A and B are shown apart, each in its own frame.
Chain A
Amino acid sequence: MSRASVELLFAAALEASPEQVEALLASHPDQVESEEVRRLLARHLVLSKAEQHAGFLDRLDRAQASALMVACETTDDPKNIGRYEIVRRLGRGATGVVYLARDPELGREIAIKLLSPSLSADPSAVRRFSEEARAASALDNPHIVTIHEIGRTSDERLFITMAYTPGETLRERMSRARLEISDVLQIGAEIADGLAAAHSHGIVHRDIKPENILLTPRGACIVDFGIAKIGAQTLTNTGAALGTAAYMSPEQTRGSKVDYRSDIWSLGVVLYEMLCGVRPFAAENGEAIVYQIRHDRPKSLAIACPNLSSDAAQIIERCLDKDPTMRPQSAADLASQLRAPGLHRKWLGLKRVVPLLAAFALVAVAATAVMDWKSIARTERTPPAKRRTQDMVAYDLYVRGTYNWNERTRDRLESAISLFNQALARDSSFALPYAALANTYINMSNYGYMPWDSTLPMATAAAARAVRLDPSLAEAHASLGFLFASNGSFEKSEASFRRALQLDPSAASTHHFYSLLLMIEGRPDEAARENHQSLELDPSFPIANTNRGIILAQQDRFDSARVELTHSLDLSARNPLAHHFLGAIDAAEEKYAQALLNLEDAYRETPGYPGISGALAYTLRRLHRSAEADSVVHLLHENNGTNRNQINLAYHEAINGNMDSSFAIFSRVRLDLPTLIGLRADPLLRRLRADARYPRLLASVGLKP
């Protein structure tokens, strides 16, 4: 009791005038407490007034703190590890220290890696690491370092003994001198050989970098299999915990599940660095590097390493494709490509431009090949004036943008924006990317990644530009329709969609957007019809499949809705909206444990989407996990200034049956498009829809119940 009242009294006194302070202290029932507060207030006054104390606790003296760290960095090397006698330290890495040691029993020299204490603690992580390290070692591949033993020191630290081969790491080699192109390709092929052996047994390295490659007389050798896993501590982890950001694949930086293609990316980074002497993603700090990895194309090898043949450049640049499915699909393939005869020789034809263009065309063809052919056909049908571009690269960028746009996660939408902009940088009269850009900006706000105020001007400008460039482009009018629907101009929206469908009735996205408008207008049959049309035209359009599930949920056909939503997750695994509605249906049917899995997935990707946090908090409470529920709601209260958080609070109130406060909030926020869809369809809002105030709420934005 005393602790709290002292704290409260002090806080109150801080904000009071001197006379009030006296009154406060005098009226406090406990004199000991009021005396303590009086003393602390006096100290506070001294600290804020007196010059000589201005620095007290002001901030850490970084220079001194650094010197302290330097001074204590003595790390006594042990004399023995297990039965081995330490000869000398070979090096120190992020995961531990490597020593040259002697095995007195066998009389041979070995290398020992002593792992840092944090990597030795978790028994299950250690077990997984041991399994993987042993499995990789058992492959007996000349390009994977053989492990002899995994043991523990007397103070429980983990160590690994390995064959010792005199040599140097690739990092050391690179810092000595630039490698010849033929050596780079040879080393790359050998690393790929080692990876191929591991991958064929389901082992992913996750931390390929020059420090983990040894150059021995027998060739390049990969070390540290499994280490990334031990640092990760969880099975789903990717090893980002240990990897230097610079070599991580985009999926690794996101913490997504990674497979062998992540190693192929990292090898691409290593190859690039060997050739150019700089890394492809070399920003100043970790965060900026991660941004580059996710969004930027590295400087073209044709420029960064002009002596490299375009074939070789293409192979390496393909390793660095943001989309794992676009990378070489096996390390074995990559190894044989890197060994192709004549690869290291520069093309000696008339002009370098010719093979380069050929390479671009190839990439474009490869990019389109993985897309559903139907959606390509959709964009290629009836080409009027300026919808198409002569620039293959611009077209390729546009197609890849739409591919990213299909998944509504933040990073995908950001990539889409970047790709559309890159396409426009190449051909500014290309109308389609403008329309797509408008849609993407609208989605950025719909999913709560950016406030509407900042996307509205950009979306408007992009849609207007698309219409100006090509007034007969259906996609441009559909973007306008989507924009109007999102901005509450429902009649204008309807007109734009009709115009778009008149121009081209075969665009699946137009039908999809139109069905959203019909949903919020309370025309469910027509909405279902348009949705059906869009799926007829493009059965694998992920978000239209999701929307089909939502329409079914609105009709209380939960089982069919589940089938459709699950199907849309098959088409695109990272689909927060599908997870959200699956979770909401589960929760409405009181299947809370199942609901939680879906809602957590949705919340992780798009915490700002209307209703996700409310459904999550509700489900957590039902599972008696109130503390977590509270913290979800607490975050909304903390930042309750945004429209989205207000909406989410209103949802939360409604789901919990607090209709008065829910309607009170709803009546003062901007009801955006996803919110209106939620009001119409969210299974957890059935009680709200039954309330007499619901029709009035809809009428306030010009909608019929």
Chain B
Amino acid sequence: MTEHASEDSSELPPLDALVPRIFDELREIARRQLSREHDRFTLQTTELVHEAYLRLANDKHVTTRGRPYFYAAASRAMRQVLIEAARARGAAKRGGGARLITLDDQTAAVDAYGDELIELDLALVELEKIHPRHARVVECRFFGGMNVEDVARSLGISPRTVKSDWAFARAWLFDFLHVGPT
């Protein structure tokens, strides 16, 4: 009996239960960093994910599924954390934004970036419906900051597949965002 690495999307491990927990962790870690050094706070995605791993390293789901799987789940959680921030920012802006920390000249650029992320998220939702594995590759690379080898390990596919999925997803998302759904 020989095992072959199946690369069908339906074989990807589900990201179910872990994502909400990592989401809370990531947000908490980010906030803690924020409260400590909000003057020079820069989001270090890979470090956040890493710290979340250490903090959750005793969670049964994490230990049985292993670190690569965790990174895939964490990439999705990172996506959610950022989209939540972008949405909250958008809502605050519409509501007058009285409580917001003023960012002066930066504000406009940040708002624009938040809107871009929300658009990307919506496009990813569409991509995921048709090409789920490709959407996961984007999550891992873009939101999780992972390199090709790490993505391959996390999703249980070959680096070659990661590269071609990435090219495909980038082309698809570009098409969707700049030309619109067909």
CB within 8 Å of B: which residues of A?
3-4, 7, 10-11, 14-15, 39-41, 43-44, 46-48, 53, 56-57, 59-74, 76, 92, 94, 116-118, 121, 232-234, 236-242, 245, 255, 285-287, 290, 604, 630-631, 633-634, 637-638, 653, 656, 658, 661
Contact = CB atoms under 8 A, between A and B. Distances in A.
B100 A71 contact: yes
A10 B164 CA distance: 8
Interface in B55-108: 55-60, 63, 81-82, 84-86, 88-89, 92, 99-101, 103, 106-107
Given A14-B167, A71-B107, A245-B54, 16 more contacts: A7-B165, A11-B164, A11-B165, A40-B171, A44-B167, A44-B170, A62-B43, A62-B45, A64-B113, A69-B34, A71-B92, A94-B32, A118-B25, A234-B60, A240-B58, A634-B5
B136 interface: no
Q: Which one of A48, A64, A92 has the greatest number of beta carbons of chain B within 10 Å?
A: A64
Contact of A40 (B44, B51, B57, B172): B172
B8 interface: yes
18 contacts: A7-B134, A11-B168, A47-B171, A60-B43, A61-B113, A65-B113, A69-B34, A69-B82, A69-B85, A70-B101, A72-B92, A74-B100, A240-B55, A240-B58, A241-B55, A286-B50, A287-B50, A637-B3
Interface string B2-46: 111100100001000000110111001011101100100111110
A505 B72 CA distance: 55
Contacts of A604: 63
Contacts of B3: 630, 633-634, 637
Contacts of B131: 3, 7
Nearest to A629: B3
B163 to A, nearest CB: 8
Contact of B59 (A43, A48, A241): A241
B156 A62 contact: no
B135 to A, nearest CB: 12
B113 A290 contact: no
A558 B138 CA distance: 51
A15 B168 CA distance: 13
Q: Which one of A7, A44, A61 has the greatest number of beta carbons of chain B within 10 Å?
A: A7
B58 A14 contact: no
Nearest to A76: B99
Contacts of A57: 120, 138, 142, 170, 173-174
Contacts of B174: 43, 46-47, 53, 56-57
Contact of A68 (B59, B114, B152, B156): B114
A62 B175 contact: no
A70 B38 contact: yes
A280 B38 CA distance: 26
Contacts, number: 193
B113 A658 contact: no
A572 B98 CA distance: 62
Contact of B58 (A48, A94, A238): A238
Given A73-B101, A94-B28, A661-B2, A68 B20 contact: no
Nearest to B88: A72
Contact of A118 (B2, B21, B138, B164): B21
A14 B168 CA distance: 9
Contacts of B57: 240-241, 255
B17 to A, nearest CB: 10
Contacts of B25: 118, 241
Given A39-B175, A69-B34, A116-B28, A60 B45 contact: yes
A240 to B, nearest CB: 5
Contacts of B86: 68, 72
A634 B44 CA distance: 31
B171 A14 contact: no
B99 A255 contact: no
Contacts of B134: 7
B106 A67 contact: yes
B34 A255 contact: no
A604 B20 CA distance: 25
Contacts of A46: 174
Contact of B31 (A3, A63, A73, A239): A73
A64 B111 CA distance: 9
B45 A656 contact: no
Contacts of A290: 54
Q: Which one of B43, B50, B153 has the greatest number of beta carbons of chain A within 10 Å?
A: B43
A68 B55 contact: no
B41 A70 contact: yes
A240 B25 CA distance: 12
Given A73-B31, A290-B54, A233 B2 contact: no
A255 B43 contact: no
A53 B42 CA distance: 25
A71 B59 contact: no
B97 to A, nearest CB: 9
Contacts of B170: 43-44, 47, 56-57
